Structure 1
Amino acid sequence: MDIETSIKQDMKSLGCDSDVKISLAYQLYIHLVDEKLMYDTEYCYNKDVDTLYVVARPRKNEKLNIYVPIRTYDDISVEFINKMQENLCTVESGHSINLAFIEGDSTIVIYSFTKGLVERPSSQKVTEYRKKEERRSYINSELMRHRSEILNDALNGGMVDDDDCQVLD
């Protein structure tokens, strides 16, 4: 029996019945062992999320990293990433998870996701923020444009009429 068959049978014995998941995990495992030369590389299965994944250390004394193999054309959502982090992250591995996107030609691209980062604001909040920034930019440009007059009035005790004042939100 060759090594590939042996590893794939071992992955199947962990509880994973999907040949696709086993194939992806095998490709990732070989990539991390042979190309990335990672330490303590092991494959694991979590039945709660039906996921076959790989854990490895990039360097001998670093913490374990979690690598989840994903096909490049699979839809990935923030909920999926959160679910993986909740079910796979441990005290030893920390709050990060690595999604390894695997293309049909065995190209592997790895992205890291860390739990606790700020979620993307809604489009309404972005619009409000842009308006606020535009207003701030306008005020700064007006202050710069009238800088010499403002400084001159400040140094000479200039008077400001109530009619010249405008309250800004």
Structure 2
Amino acid sequence: MDVEAKIKEDMRALGCTNEEKISLAYHLYIYLVDERLMYDTEYCYNKDIDTLYIVARPNKLHKINIYVPVPCSFDLSFSYIGMLQENLCTVETGPAVNLAFIEEDFTVNIYTITKRLESRQSEENTAQLRMKEDKRTFINSELKKNRDNILRDALDGGVVDDDDCQIID
């Protein structure tokens, strides 16, 4: 028996009877083992919500993460995500579920969904970040406007007259 048939048979033995779910879970399992080089990778089945999923560690020191294969054609909802978090997340794994969207050509895109929302930043922090972004935008626009002059000066040896300098507060 080849490896694919053995793994898929093991997934059926866990209780899953849906061939599409088995195929998606198999491809996710192989992706995590062969391409992402995850540690302690195992496939699991939750019969309460009829879901095959994979647990793995990104490296030996990290906690176990949950990866749920989802076809790209699936109509994702907040209630589905909540159901996954309620039924799959444990103290050991934490409040996050990784949704692995699998395309028809078996390309995998993984998104992490965390149970709790982050608290909003204070208005002061938001204002500071906005000021930094505005400064960065201004500097970039000035560099773009003066690109030709900057390049010419750099090629000419970079001599700067004191009259050309301005101090901007």
TM-score (norm 2): 0.69
What CA deviation, in whole Å up to 9, does each residue of 1:37-61 have, x standing for no partner? 0000000000011000000000101
The SS at the match of 1:37 is coil
The SS at the match of 1:52 is strand
Q: Distance in 1 between matches of 2:16 and 2:117?
A: 31
Residue matched to 2:115: 115
Q: Distance in 1 between matches of 2:117 and 2:68?
A: 19
Whichever residue aligns with residue 92 of structure 1, its letter is E
Structure 2 spans left out of the alignment, 5+ residues = 119-169
Q: How many residues align?
A: 118
> Greater CA radius of gyration, 1 or 2?
1
Q: Distance in 2 between matches of 1:82 and 1:117?
A: 13
1:116 CA displacement: 1.4
The SS at the match of 2:9 is helix
Q: Distance in 2 between matches of 1:90 and 1:76?
A: 22
Residue matched to 1:103: 103
Coordinate RMSD, CA, aligned: 0.7
Task: State, as a whole percentage, how many aligned pairs show the same letter.
Answer: 64
Residue matched to 1:153: none
Q: Distance in 2 between matches of 1:18 and 1:117?
A: 33
1:117 CA displacement: 1.3
1:98 CA displacement: 0.4
The SS at the match of 1:100 is strand
